[in-house]
Amino acid sequence: MKSFFLALLILASVKEICAQSISNKIVVSLVGKKDKFVKVQVLGGSAYVEGYEGDDLIFEPVSVDGLNASSDTPTGMTNITGLSTKFPSPAINAPNPRVSEDELAMLLIFRQSNQNVVRIKVPSSVHFRIALSNPSPDAKLSVKDLTGELEVSSDAPITEISNTSGPLLFGSSGANVGKLVRISNINWDKLALNSSKRKFWILGAFGDIDISLPENLKATLDIVNKSGNVYSDFKLTPNSQGPAKNEKNSIISDINGGGLTIMLRTETGNMYIRKQK
């Protein structure tokens, strides 16, 4: 009897600190840890990140139309991948995700094959960083419904960010050309109230930036685009601030008299700044 209760106690405490695998879901508790900077790195595949009102980080493999390459055999063709020589892929060893943490931050590294898609549910108010590493043509990162400070890093061809209200820093990684980051439905009113100095920085590097802004938003657009072009249906003309005389390929422009600073940078992509519909 004593052994039985002892075993129960041990099981209960192990459940507190380890990621749980329930069916295909992996659950990492953030109880007592929501003040930490939570960083998730996804290696391979695509990722859909959603904020929610809860206390756990949840990793769940999903099937998304058009994103699971193995289901997208073109008409009239046969998948013959099995006949080919495969270079060895990095082994996905348990535990997955691998978790490490200190007093200030928690890092989770999640590996999956390039054909897989993972949905990651995140308590919406945490200070959160998501990085997706997968430059293959089918990869996609989607991030939405988060209210805390957010950092996004992606080398996927398509990244979408929507319905966020905290400060945002986006950085495109990798040297592939032809990437696109699409940003829409940001809660600008809440963001304007945030005391952070770095409120909205989009650093596109080698890709396009497509951002939708409310037509009546008071903002100052600080734009540098070294090789690509900038297109807009706002009337963007240089304001009295500058840019500095020797600053090339740039413009600082106010919309609706100016206000919140939105920084947009890209080395080689185009920028599309549009009125939100």
Partner 1 sequence: MKQAILLVLLHLFMGVTYAQTAFKRLTLSVGKGSEIAIITGNASVDIQGYDGDYIVVEHAPARQKTTSLQDGLTEVALNNRGEEDSVITYTAVEKNNLFKINITSNWKHLSIKIPNTTSLFSIQSTTLMPEAELRIENLMCPFSVDVSMKTISITNVSGPFAVKSYSGKVILKNISWKPNVRWTSSPFPYVIRSKNSDIDIHFPDSLKADFSLRTVSGQIFSGLPITPDLKLNGGGIKILIETDNGNIFLRKSVN
What does the binding site for partner 1 look like in residue numbers (CB under 8 A)? Answer: 44, 69-70, 73-74, 76-81, 83-87, 89, 113-115, 134-138, 174-178, 206-208, 210, 223, 225, 227-233, 236, 238, 243, 245-251, 253, 267-270, 272-274
* CB of 48 or CB of 206, closer to partner 1: 206
Among residues 117, 174, 106, 122, the alpha carbon closest in space to that of 141 is found at 117
Among residues 244, 241, 245, 219, the alpha carbon closest in space to that of 232 is found at 219
Q: What is the residue whose two structure tokens read 């999903």? A: 62
Amino acid of residue 246: N
Smallest gap from residue 169 Cβ to partner 1 (A): 22
Smallest gap from residue 179 Cβ to partner 1 (A): 9
* CB of 23 or CB of 93, closer to partner 1: 93
Structure tokens at 259: 């206000």
* CB of 200 or CB of 206, closer to partner 1: 206
Give CA angle at 103 (97, 105), nearest 5°.
45
Among residues 127, 212, 217, 232, the alpha carbon closest in space to that of 163 is found at 212
* CB of 30 or CB of 69, closer to partner 1: 69
Give CA angle at 112 (130, 159), nearest 5°.
40
Peptide linkage before 97 cis (omega within 30 of 0): yes
* CB of 146 or CB of 224, closer to partner 1: 224
Smallest gap from residue 140 Cβ to partner 1 (A): 14
Smallest gap from residue 253 Cβ to partner 1 (A): 8
Beta bridge partners of 207: 179
Smallest gap from residue 42 Cβ to partner 1 (A): 14
